Amino acid sequence: MPVIPLPLLPGAARRQNVSHKSSPERAGPADQTARIATAIVYCEGNFGAIDGKTANGLVRNSERYKILSVIDSEKAGLDAGTVLDHVPNGISICRDLEASLSVADGIPDYFIFGMAPASGMLSIRERALIIEAMNYGMNVVNGLHEFLSDDPVFKAASLANNVTILDVRKPRDKKEMRTFTGRVLDLPCRRIAILGTDCAIGKRTTATILTRVLNEHSVKTVMVATGQTGMIQGARYGIALDATPSQFCAGELESTVIEAYENEHPDVIVVEGQGALSHPAYSSSAFILRGSCPHGVVLQHAPKRALRCDFDNMKMPTPADEINLIQTFADTLVIGVAINHEDMTGNDLANVIERYEQELGLTATDPLSDSPQRLADMVFAAFPELLEISKTAA
């Protein structure tokens, strides 16, 4: 289903009277849709780490929110861009909510819970912090499996402070859910899925970069998000696949892909991956392959990751094994490998890319440190008609 549109800011009038730091005069409702909402992202003890992937993604790219600061006392005082990618971006990391508010120009519009813990639930301390943010007049964006809008305490705080709670993972009513029809097979556009060998390995980042670079080549491309972070970042089309009943996963994704095509008429639809097809703890990759029926797959892999995250008894698969599984499971082809360079030096990365290209016969690239042109070339080699579209538009 399409991502929920950005709500208006019901706490705006109240925030003008907050004594913490005077807030400038807010725009009226007619102007609010024209300005991007401001936000603080909470990521205590996890920014730059695997469980901080929502905050990491928002700092790298956010079309929906202007990120003012990140809360993580362990990295307080550092620049968020420097921590992630060694490139300063002016987003401060602060020790707590008070410190984040002190560097903001007034009270931010939103408080975003920026972690994705394996439990999917809030701690007692985190519950209290979110209530505190609501008391300041901030709306809340929650990407966990715990739906705050159904919690009596949070509902009362929302009403008392005239703020909203957006539970990104909350699915539509079962009566409205769609099952798979096969209509996706008739769409006259290329569909490319970004799958991986593990969770939290960079699939969403690669999907975002690939979407951007193809559009820069005048190949109209739309990304379909399948997780909470992509939806919070501002993907126009998306579904929280891991919160959807399994009977409807393939159909809900198919319907979302169809909606993206019918509304945008793109040349390419890029589908964000989740988990890994070979991972016994997750089934999302299977539903992505079934629901989107991709023509091609880009495989994301972290060569230095020996064990799957959160599973210290489970070895990582090789790219060759994952590729074989994907191409056996679905009528598709893996067209290239995207490298996650965690724990790697420049020389390590260059050697790994060269080795994978020789062993697999596929283009390999690190989307974050290599030129994004490498991703575009990967797609153009697999689908020459897209290169012709680019050349014609040039």
What is d(CA 313, CA 119) in angstroms, rounded to the nearest whole number? 18
Close Cβ partners of 322 (under 8 Å, ≥ 6 residues apart) = 195, 196, 197, 276, 277, 278, 299, 301
Q: How far is CA 90 from CA 80, 175, 236, 356, in A?
A: 7, 45, 26, 36
pLDDT value of residue 118: 67
> Taking a C-beta distance cutoff of 8 angstroms, is the pair 295, 384 a contact?
no
pLDDT value of residue 50: 86
pLDDT band with cut points at 50, 70 and 90 for residue 161:
very high
pLDDT value of residue 6: 37
Whether residue 34 has pLDDT greater than 60:
no
Least confident of 130-139, 166-175, 182-191, 383-392: 166-175
Q: Which amino acid is at 358?
A: Q
Q: Which amino acid is at 86?
A: H
pLDDT band with cut points at 50, 70 and 90 for residue 121:
confident
pLDDT band with cut points at 50, 70 and 90 for residue 394:
confident
Sign of the dihedral defined by the CA atoms of residues 78, 81, 87, 89, in that order: negative
pLDDT band with cut points at 50, 70 and 90 for residue 364:
very high
pLDDT value of residue 30: 36
| Domains and their CATH numbers in the chain | 12-167 (3.40.50.720), 176-393 (3.40.50.300)
Close Cβ partners of 318 (under 8 Å, ≥ 6 residues apart) = none
Find the helix or strand (DSSP H, E) in which 298 lies: strand 296-301
Close Cβ partners of 140 (under 8 Å, ≥ 6 residues apart) = 110, 111, 112, 113, 130, 133, 134, 148, 154, 158, 163, 164, 165, 166
Whether residue 7 has pLDDT greater than 50:
no
Tell me the per-residue pLDDT of 39-84, one tens digit each, with 9 for 90 and over.
999 999 999 998 899 999 999 999 999 999 999 999 999 999 999 9
What DSSP character marks residue 240? -
